[in-house]
């Protein structure tokens, strides 16, 4: 009998790609999502992709709901017997969080506490949490290692993730029946090779690659580069870009690892970086995009955004060693898949 995984936020960019990997690995999946930053069309696309490799009915169920709605969560857990929860649901824009801190704290922190309370009542105490490299904060030295202190964050989004990490650590210390994997993402880009699912931000994109893509298809005039005076090789910000499929596969490795831990040695909290271990600047990404698409990408230099760091990339030795995981896609392949998605879906899912 296949194991059943609850995926909160499973219609989002990272969640949807992880759902595909789960289905193709033989798991039954239930998605719980309020569709606040995604589309129900994704569900049909995921079924279509999974149908390429799976025979028979696709073991995928969708439930519309908000993680802050405890009554609905209680009903969900009474209707299903879950082996683990993968928790992606949450607001995720750094810039937006600076403008709307209360919204981010309410959605991300209160929502996670609500979810964990219902999980505890249902005796489902296995969790893979979608965290972020933003928890390391402005004092951390690159490359970021999991053992570094966290919490000196530069924006409410990062602060919300750091508070959730602390909450989950306290939870596992208080109740040793819990097993929690906290995955600190770097900068996911790319899209599924089919071009059927990808990143589809609502309104003007906050992230670099969707912005470049929308300039390339003519939806936006030019790319805004926020800061060209950082202490980096070309003055623009440096980030660790990771293909979303590599990132999704990291979640399955983490799931395998905590299931093994539960069988062998007991419970606990585990933290892993998911990145490539190297950084690329904004201008390098634009040049890679121009190379792949043979399209000139116009850009203009703007002042720095509040909350942004100069450089950010991962030390990935721990995840390589403990999860037996590594990335397969280089920057050019990531950009190619992002462009394939955007070219096939110039207006996203709508």
To the query of whether residue 32 is one of the catalytic residues in this protein, the response is no
| Contacts of 12 by beta carbon, 8 Å cutoff, 6+ apart | 33, 37, 38, 88, 89
Query: Do the bridges between strand 280-281 and strand 238-239 make them parallel or antiparallel, or are there none, so unpaired?
Result: antiparallel
Cα(285)–Cα(66) distance, rounded to whole angstroms?
35
CA 278/CA 48 separation, integer angstroms: 34
End-to-end CA distance of the chain: 37
Cα 308 from Cα 282, distance rounded (Å): 13
Map residue 268 onto helix, strand or coil.
Answer: strand
Cis peptide before 143 (omega within 30 of 0): yes
Beta strands in 37-77 (DSSP E): 60-64
Q: Could you tell me whether strands 238-239 and 179-185 are parallel, antiparallel, or unpaired per DSSP bridges?
A: unpaired
User: Distance between CA atoms of 227 and 213, rounded to whole angstroms?
Assistant: 20
Of all helices (H) and strands (E), which one includes residue 240? none
Beta-strand pair 299-302/241-243: unpaired
Q: Please give the backbone phi and psi of residue 53, each rounded to the nearest 5 degrees, phi first.
A: -115, -15
CB 197 within 8 A of CB 40: no
Q: Give the distance, in angstroms, between the CA of residue 195 and the centroid of all CA atoms in the same chain.
A: 18
Question: Are 92 and 103 in contact, with CB atoms under 8 Å apart?
Answer: no
Tell me the C-alpha distance between 310 and 229, whole Å. Answer: 9
Give the Cα separation of 245 and 263 in Å (integer).
28
Q: From the candidates 136, 157, 211, 230, give the one annotated as an active-site residue.
A: 157
Distance between CA atoms of 259 and 32, rounded to whole angstroms? 22
- Which residues are designated catalytic? 157
């Amino acid at each position: 009998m296949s194991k059943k995984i609850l995926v909160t936020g499973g219609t989002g960019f990272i969640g949807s790609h992880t759902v595909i990997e789960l289905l193709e690995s033989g798991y039954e999946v239930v998605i719980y999502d309020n569709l606040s930053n995604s589309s129900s069309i994704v569900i049909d696309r995921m079924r279509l992709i999974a149908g390429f490799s799976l025979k028979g009915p696709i073991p995928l169920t969708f439930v519309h709901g908000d993680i802050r709605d405890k009554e609905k969560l209680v009903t969900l857990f009474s209707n299903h017997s879950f082996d683990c929860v993968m928790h992606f649901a949450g607001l995720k824009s750094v810039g937006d969080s600076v403008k709307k801190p209360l919204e981010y704290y309410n959605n991300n922190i209160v929502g996670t506490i609500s979810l964990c309370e219902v999980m505890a009542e249902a005796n489902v105490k296995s969790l893979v949490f979608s965290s972020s490299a933003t928890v390391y904060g402005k004092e951390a030295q690159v490359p970021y290692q999991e053992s570094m202190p966290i919490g000196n964050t530069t924006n409410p989004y990062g602060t919300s993730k750091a508070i959730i990490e602390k909450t989950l650590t306290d939870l596992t210390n208080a109740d040793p029946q819990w097993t929690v994997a906290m995955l600190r993402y770097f900068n996911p880009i790319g899209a599924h090779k089919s071009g059927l699912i990808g990143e589809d931000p609502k309104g003007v994109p906050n992230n670099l690659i969707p912005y470049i893509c929308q300039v390339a298809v003519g939806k936006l005039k030019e790319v805004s580069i926020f800061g060209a005076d950082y202490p980096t090789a070309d003055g623009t910000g440096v980030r660790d870009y990771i293909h979303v499929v590599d990132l999704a596969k990291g979640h399955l490795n983490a799931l395998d690892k905590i299931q093994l831990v539960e069988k062998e040695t007991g419970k606990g909290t585990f933290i892993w970086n998911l990145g490539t271990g190297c950084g690329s600047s904004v201008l390098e990404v634009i040049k890679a995009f121009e190379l792949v698409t043979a399209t000139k990408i116009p850009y203009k230099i703007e002042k720095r955004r509040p909350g942004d760091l100069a450089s950010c990339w991962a030390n990935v030795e721990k995840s390589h060693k403990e999860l037996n995981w590594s990335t397969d896609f280089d920057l050019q392949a990531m950009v190619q898949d992002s462009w394939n998605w955007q070219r096939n879906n110039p207006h996203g899912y709508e």
